[in-house]
Structure 1
Amino acid sequence: MVRSYPNIVITGTPGTGKSTHSSLLASTYSPPSSSSHPLRQIDVGALVKQEGFYTDYLEEWQSYEVNEDQLLDHLEPLTGTKAPEPIDGEEFDEDELRQAKQQDEDDEARGGLVLDWHTCDVWPERWADLVVVLRCDHSVLWERLEKRGYPLKKIQENNEAEIMGVVADDARSSYPAEAVVELTSQESGDVEENVERIIQWIHAWRQARGLE
């Protein structure tokens, strides 16, 4: 199956604004000459709890030990499996483009997943067309996590992870460099600006493949 919309991973340390970005992106993007919203936000943490895709609950960290195999098996049919090649690329395949164009905007296998989670290296490389790593000043992040009521130990761990760029390093080691972008999520206007950048990227991705 060939997807007609790109799959986008939105990741970052807890508190960097992943869900806010993902929700706005999914509710804002529409293809040209259409009022539909074909992107699908997947709040992975909520999905794991809802579907029981975990093996244990870690009380100390207030988090679940995720059963990654169950999670991946659940999402695989929605990913579209393969992205069509750009029409000016050496590996362009007209049959793939035709398959992608035949996808309806509500087809389950159309792709267009917005995978919202604090980690990213679990996703197969073939799934991810764009990996957005949200970054935030650690002092701002600390305040956000305090407001969430996180225990001190969890705040410290996440704060250190953000300072060290753990999620960004994981993204760069798991996906091609051209697929990974870091965006600042700190000021009040950052979310709208970042989402607009991602939407422009989606249009460019689809245009390069003859889908717009």
Structure 2
Amino acid sequence: MSDSDGTGRKRPNILVTGTPGVGKTATASLIAETMGLKHINVGEVISQHKCYDGYDDALDTHILDEDKLLDLMEGIFEECADEGTGIVADYHSCELFPERWFDLILVLRAKTDVLFDRLTERGYVEKKRSDNLEAEIMQVVLDEALESYDVEIVHEVPSNTMEDMESNVERCRLWIEQWIVNNS
């Protein structure tokens, strides 16, 4: 069975992205669970396989080794394609991933007051919290997605409430079902 883009995949690959704290992991996990796709929390992959090249004390975060991460993920994507399984990956950045990996980019957005509370709850230091709030206000991740992928596959959705998350999961379910019909 081959799909229209020539990859031979039987299930789509989705990237759930957005500023830290918008609900990427919870949303991606629920989409994967609902649709029988593999969930990849890219942050966990980075931690487990030590895909970093030092530490930034000011931002309280590791410095990503993109090459190591992409090599690792390439293998995961190939394995899932061979098994006929689609992927729902979540990460706060999207421009580093090859365009060919994803069929849908879901950019989650949150109101600043909601995001402030979530980041505070996580114990983010003031600089890290304010940098992330500024990134959300300036729609950095959305712009990055629109510059890195075909605008047709990039969708901006709200992620302020549990109802928003349920709606986003339902939209993805319908989209995935249509993708399967269109590509079988």
- Aligned-residue CA RMSD in angstroms? 1.6
Shifted more, 17-26 versus 57-66: the winner is 57-66
Q: Match for residue 42 of structure 1?
A: 40
2:56 corresponds, among 55, 58, 64, to 58
- Is it true that 1:5 corresponds to 2:3 in the alignment? no
Cα deviation for residue 75 of structure 1 reads 1.3
2:66 corresponds, among 65, 68, 87, to 68
Q: Residues 111 and 78 of structure 1: is their aligned pair in 2 closer, same or farther, counting only changes over 3 Å?
A: farther
Secondary structure of the residue that 1:20 maps to in structure 2?
A: helix
Q: Is the 1:55–1:65 Cα contact (8 Å) retained in structure 2?
A: yes
For 2:162 and 2:180, the matched residues in 1 are separated by: 29
Structure having the larger proportion of residues in helix: 2
2:140 corresponds, among 156, 159, 166, to 166
TM-score with structure 1 length normalisation? 0.80
Q: Please, which runs of 5 or more residues in structure 1 have no aligned partner?
A: 30-36, 82-105
For 1:62 and 1:108, the matched residues in 2 are separated by: 38
2:22 corresponds, among 16, 20, 37, to 16
Q: Match for residue 172 of structure 2?
A: 198
- Is it true that 1:77 corresponds to 2:75 in the alignment? yes
For 1:110 and 1:70, the matched residues in 2 are separated by: 25
Q: Residues 50 and 80 of structure 1: is their aligned pair in 2 closer, same or farther, counting only changes over 3 Å?
A: closer
**Equivalent residues in 2 for 1:123-202 (5 A)?**
123-202=97-176
Cα deviation for residue 108 of structure 1 reads 4.9
Q: Please, which runs of 5 or more residues in structure 2 have no aligned partner?
A: 1-6
TM-score with structure 2 length normalisation? 0.91
Q: Deviations over 1:58-113 (max 9, x none)?
A: 222121111111111111133249xxxxxxxxxxxxxxxxxxxxxxxx76553511
For 1:185 and 1:107, the matched residues in 2 are separated by: 29
Q: Is the 1:55–1:64 Cα contact (8 Å) retained in structure 2?
A: yes
Larger Rg computed on CA atoms: 1
Q: Is the 2:27–2:169 Cα contact (8 Å) retained in structure 1?
A: yes
Cα deviation for residue 129 of structure 1 reads 0.5
Q: Deviations over 1:128-183 (max 9, x none)?
A: 10000000111111111011100011110000110010000000000001010001
Q: Match for residue 32 of structure 1?
A: none
Secondary structure of the residue that 1:155 maps to in structure 2?
A: helix
Q: Is the 1:53–1:70 Cα contact (8 Å) retained in structure 2?
A: yes
